[in-house]
Structure 1
Amino acid sequence: MPGSTALTASVTPDASPGLTFGRPLRVLAWLSFIAEILIIGTGGAVRLTGSGLGCSEWPLCTPESLVPILEVQGIHGAIEFGNRTMTGVVGLLALAVLMFTLHALSGRRLVVRAVWFALGGIVVAIGVYAAASALGLPAAALMSTALLLAVLIGAVDSLRQNAQRQDLAVLAWIVLIGVMAQAVVGGFAVISDLNPFIVGFHYTVSLLLVCITALFLVRLDSAPGPRELVVPAWFSALSHATGLALAATIVFGVLTTGSGPHSGDADINIQRTGFDATWFAHVHSWPGYILAALVLVLAVSAWMLKLPPHRWTLVLVLAILVQVVVGVIQARTGLPPVFVGIHMILASLSAAAYTVLVTRLKRPVAA
């Protein structure tokens, strides 16, 4: 990813006067990006090892315990709880990135304000939990919703108070809000006995968070303000058409997986989408091959014309070609879990590479 060389520098000046983004923020941003990829891997492991209901409750693992009881739940409980623990890691990294970003933009002012909103949200959430428990309502879900609303309100207040680098502040808030929302969606996945549409949505949001954390890394080294195209209009249009093909490939891939043999639980046969998995596998491949062709055209054009995104077109070509190979292998070998998991992670990396490529289509307008 661009900006990796910045990890060796203690402080790198930003294009905005008076702003600097130091090494701690950059390291945390990279760790957040990596963690968002890893949680796709751990989430895939939950699904592909049949551990989706290894923890039968949420947010507790069992009705009596926060953590799995290995003698009762075995390895499946440990795998599911491991993924839940990874959610905490991702959330803490997102929070750290946000705090360091706010500090870089305003010093202590926005950080202190955000902390007060957080404390207020926690107090309200505790009150909601107590009231819901007394009324026999789903206390954990309502408490989580209250916390999420508090964060949303805090984000709106913070963005209204800040006039500098709104792009970075918005991205940092989106990641934190997304991680919290993902925890709620994961809870609904358990409560709904792994409804394949909820599980698929859960994965798709994780993939989008990978893209957003990648975009944050890029924007750290980018000047703010208006931008202008540095590529021909037809190349920009072709790039966006490629994005549509990538999105279609991912969506049909999620539906294909949701129709496949890996139900997500080892002991009961979870009802999948009801679609024909074999038919969907073919449908999934059509936009995939179109995507591969479009990416090759982009790469050849960019290198022949020496356009700024040419290096990232090569990265995207490699990612998509490996994806195609893995997809063909898994389809012809009965969908072995390892290859399905690799396919899931590669999809997020392909989407991240495409995100960076799109940012290279424009440059800041010269003053």
Structure 2
Amino acid sequence: MKPAVRFPVSTTLLRRLTYANIVANVAIVVTGGAVRLTASGLGCPTWPRCTDESYTTTAEMGVHGVIEFGNRLLTFAVGIIALATLLAVLLHRPRRRGLLPLAVAVFLGIPAQAVLGGITVLTDLNPWVVGLHFLASMLVIAAAYALWQRAKDPDGPVVAVVPAPLRTLARITTAVSAAVLVIGTWVTGSGPHAGDHGAARNGLDPETISQVHADSVFLLIGLSVALVFAFRAVGAARAYRAALVLVAVELGQGLIGFVQYFTDLPAVLVGAHMLGSCLVLLATLSVQWSTRERQPVAPAPAPPSTPAVEPVAANA
């Protein structure tokens, strides 16, 4: 017999922690963007120390040092939330299948991101490494979203709620969404916001790669609109609503992208575009999850009761 858990964790607390994981990882993407957009990427010029003599910023480094060091400190806050979530998964009973690997993945993703961030500093903000740093954050956010969804779902079998061709279309849309994120890092690496005035660019022509990015966005929106009509046609209400949200987020993100391009990439709009990238990813994952559902496990049938047998009186 397994020993009882001394400090049980409720399902409500577990769900709140998994949701906090998503918020925290999106927040650190936005603050990381602020580091780049304020040219503070080398505010702490080395890693893991901030300077060769100090782990913290110094007065001589000014506001850029404060911004970069502040973002490093935020990594610890995100890690604490991930650790609390992992402990909650371990203490939650009954433990749902698949929760622990996802919680471990999110938790280990935080130090991995810190190391990647350090490599970006040590390589003087190489644009390809900076792009990889951003994409790794997207993977952590995807794992955090999967963890949150798993904490919400009952512990039962997974059942498809839309026909197989539409599930395939949803997977293609997810793949194109991922491609849009990757190409977006190429656009960023060719643009003016390098994170430091002396940082190198990736050498791609900004106008050409921006057009490629715009074309991929148009493809993504077209696929998403197709999902809206297809889900509505088969009566998949939950998937239909998720696809509508995805299209709305994509249109908002596209509008920000066009405005920032034609206004010479103001920092505020670029930061909003980075937040929009996270929202597009989350909305895409929501559509993917809406094509299936996990059904609760039916309770085991009670064993048949044995009718009581009345004693038979012996013959006289």
Secondary structure of the corresponding residue to residue 363 of structure 1: strand
- Establish whether residue 25 from structure 1 lines up as the match of residue 17 from structure 2: no
**After the TM superposition, which residues 222-301 of structure 1 pair with which residues of structure 2 at under 5 Å, given as runs?**
222-266=153-197, 269-301=198-230
The 8 Å contact of residues 158 and 294 in structure 2, kept in 1 or not, is answered as yes
Q: Of 55, 61, 65, which aligns to 1:73?
A: 61
Query: Matches of 2:14 and 2:127 in 1, distance apart?
Result: 37
1:33-182 alignment, distance < 5 Å? 33-70=22-59, 72-105=60-93, 164-182=95-113
Tell me the secondary structure at the aligned position of residue 166 of structure 1. Answer: coil
**2:231 corresponds to which of 279, 302, 327:** 302
What is residue 134 of structure 1 aligned with on the other side? none
Q: Return the TM-score normalized by structure 2.
A: 0.87
Percent identity, please: 39
Distance 1:169 1:291 in 2: 33
C-alpha separation between the residues in 2 aligned to 1:356 and 1:97?
Answer: 21
Q: Which of residues 245, 248, 271 in structure 2 aligns to 1:315?
A: 245
26-35 or 329-338: bigger deviation: 26-35
Q: Which one of 126, 145, 151 corresponds to residue 214 of structure 1? A: 145
Q: How far, CA to CA, are the matches of 2:9 and 2:66 in structure 1?
A: 42
Question: How far apart in 1 are the matches of 2:274 and 2:199?
Answer: 20
Gaps of 5+ in 1: 1-18, 107-163
Larger Rg: 2
CA contact 1:218–1:356 (8 Å) conserved in 2: no
Contact 2:9 2:88 in 1 (8 A): no
Q: Deviations over 1:15-36 (max 9, x none)?
A: xxxx974333222222221110
**Native 8 Å contact 2:14 2:151 kept in 1:** no
**Superposition pairs for residues 194-209 of structure 1, below 5 Å?**
194-209=125-140
Structure 1 letter corresponding to 2:173: T
TM-superposition CA deviations, 1:112-161 (whole Å, max 9, x none) = xxxxxxxxxxxxxxxxxxxxxxxxxxxxxxxxxxxxxxxxxxxxxxxxxx
CA distance in 2: counterparts of 1:167 and 1:102, whole angstroms: 12
**Structure 1 length as normaliser, TM-score?**
0.75
Deviation at 1:84, TM superposition (A): 0.4
**Over residues 175-220 of structure 1, what are the superposed CA-to-partner deviations in whole Å (9 max), with x where a residue is unaligned?**
0111111111111111111111111111111112122212211111
Write 1 or 2 for the structure with the bigger share of helix: 1
- Secondary structure in 2 matching 1:59: coil
Deviation at 1:272, TM superposition (A): 1.2
3-state SS of the aligned residue for 2:264? coil
Residue among 319, 327, 334 paired with 2:264? 334
CA distance in 1: counterparts of 2:113 and 2:9, whole angstroms: 31
CA RMSD, 1 decimal:
1.7
| Distance in 2 separating the partners of 1:282 and 1:184 | 32
SS, match of residue 159 in structure 2: strand
